[in-house]
Chain A
Amino acid sequence: MRLTELPLRQPAFVDLIDWSVLSPSEGQRLREFGLCEGASVEALHHGGLWGKGPIACKVGRMTIAMRRNHAAAVTVRTGPDAAP
């Protein structure tokens, strides 16, 4: 499932990132934030009144905010065998 669809506060792992959606500098910033295939991720808050705002999520031990179009580029896995 996509990171945008991940229920709040449910631990998951990053399966795949569609880097083509991100500009090179955005991709690099995300990597510097520790978002990469295999990273642990947890959606914390959806911003905006109609769920159209950015998403705050925990990546490893860090909390980051990103827009929905970027979060949609991240595919995540949940469940007992999700850990890489």
Chain B
Amino acid sequence: MSVLPLVALVGNPNAGKSALFNALTGARQKLGNYPGVTVERKAGRLALADGRPVELVDLPGTYSLNAASPDEQVTRDVVMGRQAGERRPDALVIVVDASNLDNHLRFALELIALGLPTIVALNMVDLATRDGLELDAAVLARELGVPVIATVAVRKRGLDHLREELGGLLDSAAPEAKTLPPERDFDAVRGEARRIARAAVVRETPSRRLTAAVDRVALHPVFGLLLLLGLLFVMFQAVYAWSEAPIAMIEGLAEAAATAARDALPDGMLRSFLVDGVINGVGSVVVFLPQILILFFFILMLEATGYMVRAAFLMDGIMAKVGLSGRAFIPLLSSFACAIPGIMATRTIADPKDRLTTILIAPLMTCSARLPVYAVIIGAFIPARDVLPGVGLQGFVLFCLYVAGIIGAMLVALILRMTVTKGASGGFLMEMPKYQWPRPQDILLGLWQRAVIFLKRAGTIIFTSTVILWVLLSYPKPPEGSAVSQVDYSIAGRIAGGLNVILEPIGFNRDISLALIPAMAAREVAVSALATVYSIDAGDDEALLERSLGDRLKDQWPLPTALAFLAWFIFAPQCISTIAVTRRETNGWKWPMFMLGYLFVLAYVAAGLTFWTATALGLS
């Protein structure tokens, strides 16, 4: 197959670049990484007007070619043809926000000066019109010397025109591209950008701006914070309330599969492997897909609407008190979904000590992989009743667990900033984009990509660790007539027995010790591990096998143990993938090891305190 022409989408942050990328490529996207750096490479296939395919790559948004962060360096190096693992694009599509031309044209002029075949997409013209701004694309094209096409990515407006123009551009002989941008005075380029922007304005009438009106409430010191807290509360309630029906469906499917396998296969190793290892193990994790998708839905919505930056603005005052920047709030909120994208998102924090502190506390934000663990324990031990009308006790406990993680993170940040990451606090400089209603397809696409990642994890890491655990639990077999149970006699049982010496004082039993080891691979494995342990423990006891994991836990664990287990997972040392990404982002083993150590100590102390307090209070 011949190599497709490569076209790069490039522009300022908040120019609507990603929405344009989604609209042009649809669901045919490939996510990857640039070699050596943890910057995500997003590429997709675009069909030109005549049907020819082109590879389109979405470069990280940046304000100029003077890169400040690793993301911005990738953009600079790609357009200059210096990025390892990427060819120099055959053409650029520069995305500019129609209502912010002064600023975006400055960067566009820098890019045009590179001499690559270029088209400017004058994006979000509808929002400019909403703000009373009317622009002449033809004037802009004449002044810039490149084709300009008015687009509204979210309504697919102007896209056919863009495809057509791009085809013509790729056909014509390529002008000579420069490897280095011509040296030009920053102020001179800005002056020119402003002049061109003025020339392109046909009419400008001041009109009531939606964003300003919403911000009066959303950024209000009191109402804004209440709104943010309310949003977060609704988010965590929804994780429970909306997921009941789909979870029941998945559970039903897993049960049917287990029953079918039990009926179809003779008793033996294969049946035990399929039922105990595969179906019960992997099934107990897949069941949490609905809750994870609900959480991601909220995070994607907050990001796409432009609210996330407002949350950072509101939180900056509080974050500054513990020595962080409001900017840290965005990676920390993403860490609720998963610490890996969260830690990667810290790249937008310019100050190195701010950034390191944020990386170190990111695992304290309860990631979605811990949700299955919380959900199964809460489901088993916390009664499903309302504490207030419409506010369930289970959702409330979940909310408290998240809050405990946040408070823990703030305290840790405060201590770190006074000790290991001591230094002057960095600043807080951010652009606040206009509010925008996201295109449903963009949100659905984001959810789909998350679901695929989660199911792939379930199919690989979780499947593998469950299978290994099943083997370690099933062998060796105790001698006939022995009083020792299968689990105690197995290799895994003996390892857990050893580990239990350390964990027994904080109320953990052998089964928990067993589950914690594979949970290092991925935290939700703790649930599948428990499912496998109890499934093997039950042996052929039909009555026991019929019972859900939650019911069995309820029989076997005293309440203080369950609570201690929850407390452990607030701080639980992070999974191997998080350690790996921390190592990559901090360039060494020092900080990931530090992180592992301090989280283990915190988890141990928190679980211990919970267990001892609960026991002293006589909870059972």
Contact = CB atoms under 8 A, between A and B. Distances in A.
Interface of A: 22-23, 25-26, 28-34, 36, 44-49, 52-54, 56, 60-67, 69-70
Can you list the 3 inter-chain pairs with the closest CB atoms, starting with the nearest? A48-B317, A53-B317, A32-B63
A63 B317 contact: no
Nearest to B131: A61
| Most A Cβ at <10 Å: residue of B66, B320, B432 | B432
Contact of A53 (B99, B216, B316): B316
Contact of A47 (B103, B211, B313, B427): B313
Given A47-B313, A65-B313, A56 B63 contact: no
Contacts of A26: 350, 427, 429
A44 B100 CA distance: 17
20 contacts: A22-B427, A23-B427, A28-B66, A29-B350, A29-B429, A34-B102, A36-B187, A44-B212, A44-B215, A45-B215, A45-B313, A52-B317, A53-B221, A56-B313, A56-B432, A61-B100, A62-B100, A63-B211, A65-B429, A66-B430
Contact of A32 (B64, B219, B221, B316): B64
B190 A36 contact: yes
A81 to B, nearest CB: 21
Contact of A49 (B66, B190, B219, B221): B221
Interface residues on B, range: 35 or more
A69 B316 CA distance: 13
Interface of B: 63-64, 66, 68, 99-103, 106, 186-187, 190, 211-212, 215-216, 219-222, 309, 312-314, 316-317, 320, 326, 350, 427-432, 434
Contacts of A52: 317
Contacts of A66: 427-430
Nearest to A32: B63
A46 B444 CA distance: 35
Nearest to A28: B66
B430 A65 contact: yes
Contacts of A54: 313, 316-317, 326, 428
Given A34-B103, A63-B432, A64-B431, A47 B186 contact: no
Contacts of B187: 36
Nearest to A48: B317
Nearest to A54: B316
A63 B186 CA distance: 21
Contacts of A67: 316, 320, 427-429
Contacts of B431: 33, 62-65
B314 A47 contact: yes
B100 A65 contact: no
